[in-house]
Chains A and B, each alone.
Chain A
Amino acid sequence: MFEAQLVEGKTFKAIIEAIKDLVVDCNLDCSEEEVAIQSMDSAHVSLVAVRLSASAFSNYRCDRPNSLGINTANMSKILKMLGKDDSITFKAEDESPDSLTMLFEGGKSTIADFELKLMDIETEQLGIPDTPYQCTIQMRADEFQRIVRDLQVLGDTCTISCGKEGVRFSVTGAIGNGNILVRSSDEDKDKVTINMEEPVELNFALRYLNFFTKATPLAENVVISMSPDVPVVVEYPIEEFGHVKFYLAPKIEE
């Protein structure tokens, strides 16, 4: 039996909204410790990893590990009916369940229940090594979203270079080019923290960075981690309960 109640149901809704443009079908991997999602986008360029620890839920029971295969667009349709202050209670049987039951409960006398059909999804699980990164940038999530959105009008590829003066986001395109430099700042409102061992410069597809910023409502700050010649990690922490992380393979010179 899997049964779990998330008091702030809107957090789960925001997670699905954050990933549904990248991931069509995915497994909710439920275990005693957590509910997790790991999935590549259809082009196999990026990877999405979601974690919500059991402590994020007010009641959590998972008798045995289970993978619940969902279609994110269909899940999103059901979550449209979630009230902004509603809790969600998830329920599924142990042995290859056909459906996932979700109860939406608000402060009033209304209880809504929905059943989402599940499917068998075969996925390739990638092992992501837990290695330190040469550069880690923490900045406001809405500021990162604005930068990515603004630079997209100039071109397809963004060069992110982290150096002594800060982090530079650069785009070169047919109509011209642009650079946005973000420097370390202690100001409470716009705090930017840059930890750098060595300068790093990498190229990324703006289209994917833009997909990642759909997770902006989940977190005040985004953490961007880079090392030479490996994927960038764009992390949106979900309080102390988990995260949505996006991994994007770099573009390299041929």
Chain B
Amino acid sequence: ETVQTYIRQYYPLN
């Protein structure tokens, strides 16, 4: 099954 990931998992906070 595919699950949706979140954008925060890929980019650091500035």
| Alpha-carbon gap, A249 to B14, bound state (A) | 18
| Alpha-carbon gap, A231 to B14, bound state (A) | 18
| Alpha-carbon gap, A253 to B4, bound state (A) | 9
The residue from B1, B7, B14 contacting A44, defined by CB atoms under 8 A apart = B7
* Cβ < 8 Å to B, chain A residues 39-71: 40, 44-47
User: Which residue of chain A lies nearest to B11 when distances are taken between CB atoms in the complex?
Assistant: A126
* Cβ < 8 Å to B, chain A residues 116-138: 124-129
Instruction: Chain A residues near B3: list those with CB within 8 A.
Output: 251-252, 254
A144 at the interface (CB under 8 A from B): no
Instruction: Chain B residues near A47: list those with CB within 8 A.
Output: 7, 11
Q: Which of B1, B4, B8 has the most CB of A within 10 A?
A: B4
Instruction: Chain A residues near B9: list those with CB within 8 A.
Output: 249
B4 touches A45 (CB 8 A): yes
B11 touches A253 (CB 8 A): no
A231 touches B7 (CB 8 A): yes
Categorize the interface residue count of chain B: 10 to 19
| Alpha-carbon gap, A231 to B5, bound state (A) | 9
Given contacts A126-B13, A127-B12, A127-B14, contact A40 B5 (CB under 8 A): no
A147 at the interface (CB under 8 A from B): no
User: Which residue of chain B lies nearest to A205 when distances are taken between CB atoms in the complex?
Assistant: B4
Instruction: Chain B residues near A249: list those with CB within 8 A.
Output: 4-7, 9-10
Given contacts A45-B6, A249-B7, contact A126 B1 (CB under 8 A): no
B10 touches A231 (CB 8 A): yes
Instruction: Chain A residues near B14: list those with CB within 8 A.
Output: 125-127
| Alpha-carbon gap, A26 to B8, bound state (A) | 17
The residue from A46, A157, A253, A254 contacting B7, defined by CB atoms under 8 A apart = A46
The residue from A126, A127, A157, A251 contacting B5, defined by CB atoms under 8 A apart = A251
